[in-house]
Each structure stands twice: as C-alpha cells, then as structure tokens.
Amino acid sequence: MGSQDDFEYALKSNESWANYKSHQNPGLFEKLANGQSPKILWIGCSDSRVPETTILGLHPGDVFVHRNVANIISPTDINSQAVIEYAVVHLKVSHIVVCGHSACGGCGAALSDARVGGVIDAWITPLKALRKQNEEELKAIRDEKKRAVRLAEMNVKSGVESLLSTYFIEEAVRERGLKVHGCVYDVACGRMTDLKCGNAGKKGVAGVKEDETEIVKGNHGMLVFGGDGASMTIR
Ligand SMILES: [Zn+2]
C-alpha cells in the first residue's frame, strides 16, 4: 500500500469514526465545540503503539497531551514546558501521567553505542546520562528487552522528579492537590503499570489525601486514581 492510499484510507476512516461517535454519543462533538476541561495531562512517547486516549479507553476532550521521542522531560524544552504549564496553570488538570513503554526505540538507542545520526543523538542525551549513572544495574540485566524497560522506568522516574521540582507544579500540589504519576505501558499486552514514583498517595505530601479516589470513566474501561496509585479496569 502506497502512502497516498494510506492517507485516503485514514480520511475515510475518520469520516466513519465521526459518524460512529455521533451515533454512539449524540452530544459529544457539540460539547467539545464549547471548550475542554480535561482532568489528565499525559506525557508519553511519540511511539505509534502508545496512543494515550485509545489505551486509556477515554474520549476526545479527556486527555491533554504532550508526546515526544522517549517521553523526555527537560525544563529547558519550551515545547513540553508550554504544554505542561498550560495544562496545570490554565486547564487545572488533576493528574499528570508520565508514561514510558516497553520496546521504546529511544531507550534502545540510548543503550546502544551506535549513533542514530541527526538531531536524535542530542535529544536522547538525558537517556544516555541515565544509562551511565546506572551502568552497573543495567549491565546486570542480561535480557536486552528487560534492560530497555528498566531504562524506560528510570526515565519516567526522572521525569516525575523534574515535574515535582517545577515551581508551578509545586504550587498546584500544595494548593489544590495535583497528583503526578509515573507509569510504564507494555506494548505486548496493552497494560499500564503504576511505578508509584509520583506524589499520589504518599503520606506527608501537602494537598494529597491518602484515601482519596477519583475515577475517570471511558467507554471501554475506567481509570481509577486512588491511594494505591493508578489502575485500569476493563468493562
Ligand atoms: Zn518510545
């Protein structure tokens, strides 16, 4: 199939999807035309296998999104910082989910000694630094796939720490109980695991109640944010 055919297919598919959604939920697009009030900011990888709204079983309007190669969060990257600031300060999301994934090309490249070329090598420098800081632990993992997942976990944790050190996020945590979660998604089974490296459910964190539970419902499943972290239930 050529690329033009793929695009034509995508356009036709969009038309069917819009018709199906209107039929299934008649008020959806009218409501969306009047604005957005998403509860979740998702920071994930650009990888085609991790489409956040789909894997969460949610709808347009439910998730504000920033995705980049290997979900790297850098305080000097104006692109991601603008998205994060808008979501936290203006949309006042209740949750930030940083999600890495298995079989991530960015993590694989950072674990290899070969150059990718172009701008990618510079972009994944933070991953390479993480690899060097944790060389011993990573080298001890003999399975290449598992090693890449471990680096993805370390990267998520580092992203969560960076977010929790950002002044407007510290403020939102203190003033209205914003929760930051770190997760890893398994592309081989479609499940997300909460790494529990954020501030949700931790004692002594201002603005966060340990037994507070919030449910974000989708059509095919629901995401439960509770004291034990985030979990996904399929209906
Ligand atoms: Zn990736």
What are the domain boundaries of the chain?
38-209
CA gap 157, 64 in Å, rounded: 20
pLDDT at 112: 96
In the annotation, is 104 catalytic?
A: yes
Choosing from 95, 101, 131, 147, which is the catalytic residue? 101
Instruction: Give me ligand 1 centre to Cα 224, in Å.
Output: 24
Mean pLDDT (the chain, rounded) = 90
Alpha-helix residue ranges (DSSP H) falling in 25-124: 28-33, 52-55, 78-85, 105-111, 120-123
Q: Domain 38-209 adopts which CATH fold?
A: Beta-carbonic Anhydrase; Chain A (3.40.1050)
More confident residue, 169 or 216: 169
In the annotation, is 235 catalytic?
A: no
In the annotation, is 107 catalytic?
A: no
Query: What is the residue type of 144?
Result: E
In the annotation, is 49 catalytic?
A: yes
Instruction: Give me ligand 1 centre to Cα 25, in Å.
Output: 32
pLDDT at 235: 42
Does the predicted model carry a pTM greater than 0.85?
Answer: yes
Read off the pLDDT band of 4 (50, 70, 90). Answer: confident
Choosing from 66, 95, 99, 104, which is the catalytic residue? 104
CA 211 to chain CA centroid, Å, is 24
pLDDT exceeds cutoff 80 at 143? yes
In the annotation, is 47 catalytic?
A: yes
**Overall average pLDDT of the 81-89 stretch:** 98
Which residues 6+ apart lie within 8 Å of 158 measured at CB? 73, 126, 130
Choosing from 49, 59, 67, 228, which is the catalytic residue? 49
Q: What is the DSSP letter of 69?
A: G
What percent of the chain shows pLDDT beyond 90? 83
**Overall average pLDDT of the 79-100 stretch:** 98
